[in-house]
Amino acid sequence: MFERAYKGVSIRVVREDITLQTVDAIVNPANSQMIMGGGVAGAIKRTGGKEIEEEAVRHAPVPVGKAEATKAGRLNAKYIIHTPTMRRPAMRITKENVRLAMKAALENVEKLKAKSVAFPGLGTGVGGVDIKAAANIMLQELKTHISGGTSLQSVIFVGITEKSAEAFRDALKKTIAE
């Protein structure tokens, strides 16, 4: 685990399974149709229950740049924040989609008044965005968000692999000085 604080918000990086996090909200890098197939979405559905996807698809279509929250099923969270990074499942995306998805997820955090949230890499699976680039964008958006005032007290960036955890650690070191 690696941790820094910024304006009273604890920001941690862990190498774990995002479905094991105990937080107010877990972020799902979704598609606009809210179909939860593979990757993080598939893991959330498998562990949390298909009712998460059933509730999510009732919100579809959700454009990139917007986010919708559902209940979290059997997960140790109150909400799943579904933030589309792509219009259709398994699309290649740009770094701008990562920025828009991160911003939308953070706006949703405030709407929910969540105090804690867990993020996976956004757009780094089938979306094809390099994890280092995505991590830098995500941390920069978080810093901007916190600077404007936030309900958040704790943010966890979850890397499922050592490479993704390392990318988040490096981005956190670069974005938030000690």
HSE-up (13 A, CA, CB side) for residue 76: 9
What pLDDT is stored for residue 177 in this prediction? 83
pLDDT digits (tens, 9 = 90+) for 103-127: 999 999 999 999 999 999 999 998 9
Enter the pTM of the model: 0.96
> Going from the N-terminus, what domains does the chain have, and what CATH number goes with each?
2-175 (3.40.220.10)
Please report, for residues 132, 138, 144, the alpha-carbon distance to residue 174 in angstroms, rounded to integers and kept in the order given.
Answer: 12, 12, 14
Q: Is the pLDDT assigned to residue 1 strictly greater than 90?
A: no
Q: Which tens digit of pLDDT belongs to each residue from 3-62?
A: 999 999 999 999 999 999 999 999 999 999 999 998 999 999 999 999 999 999 999 999
Residue from 125, 119, 112, 104 nearest 42 by CA: 125
